[in-house]
């Protein structure tokens, strides 16, 4: 899957489910539950025990799914993620070496940023998107709207505090996609293997994105 295809899929779907789990098996269950629910994108955070093996397993068994690596904090981890088969790399902050590496390898990359200065620095590195994290403590949708003024040409992904109650507001404020974790994949649903619960949350969020884009 090319960098361009990954970028287009993220823009099209508008949701990047972030999987956080206590074990590799929990992570695989969560990822497969989300993808079976109509969201063919999943971000496996590197905080999961055995995260690289999860990325490799999903990439090998689900060729139609965009499998990404999240919380990638250094160049060596980024390299190992690509070796495992990751289609995109993202993080909570901006590491120029990681962005440069991903671009050189023709893999989609979106570093994290928060302040206007950080957004400027991140975008100069020419990533595919810039992820604003954490949004909620900074004012939520209003903060995205404020950033869109000076950075109207920067595709922003909103993450951190996104829920089904504010998803439409974030998209209306100018976010091109939303990074969502526990509000889409609750830890209890993982523990109890409640795929139906995850499916219902996915259905609601996908419907909300359609509403936001019709406005």
Domain 3-214 in CATH 3.20.20.70: yes
pLDDT score for 180: 97
pLDDT score for 215: 74
pLDDT score for 1: 87
Q: CB atoms < 10 A from the CB of 4, how many?
A: 11
Phi, psi of 149 (to 5 degrees): -60, -65
Task: Give Rg (Cα) of the chain.
Answer: 16
Burial group, residue 134, by CB count within 10 angstroms (0-12, 13-18, 19+)? middle
**What parts of the chain have a pLDDT lower than 50?**
none
Question: pTM of the prediction?
Answer: 0.95
Are 93 and 7 a contacting pair, CB within 8 Å? no
Are 79 and 103 a contacting pair, CB within 8 Å? no
């Amino acid at each position: 899957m090319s960098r361009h295809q990954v970028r287009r899929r993220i823009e099209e779907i508008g949701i990047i489910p972030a999987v956080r789990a206590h074990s590799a098996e929990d992570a695989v269950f969560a990822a497969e539950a989300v993808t079976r629910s109509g969201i063919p994108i999943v971000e496996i955070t590197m905080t999961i025990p055995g995260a690289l093996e999860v990325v490799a397993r999903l990439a090998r068994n689900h060729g139609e799914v965009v499998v990404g690596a999240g919380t990638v904090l250094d160049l060596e981890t980024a390299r190992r993620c690509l070796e495992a088969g990751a289609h995109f790399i993202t993080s909570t902050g901006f590491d120029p070496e990681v962005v440069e590496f991903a671009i050189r390898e023709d893999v989609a990359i979106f570093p994290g940023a928060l302040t206007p200065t950080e957004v400027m620095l991140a975008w100069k590195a020419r990533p595919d998107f810039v992820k604003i994290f954490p949004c909620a403590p900074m004012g939520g949708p209003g903060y995205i709207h404020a950033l869109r003024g000076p950075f109207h040409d920067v595709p922003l992904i909103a993450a951190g505090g996104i829920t089904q109650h504010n998803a439409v507001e974030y998209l209306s404020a100018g976010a091109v996609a939303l990074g969502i974790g526990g509000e889409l994949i609750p830890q209890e649903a993982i523990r109890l293997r409640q795929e139906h619960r995850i499916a219902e949350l996915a259905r609601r969020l996908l419907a909300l994105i359609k509403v936001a884009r019709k406005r």
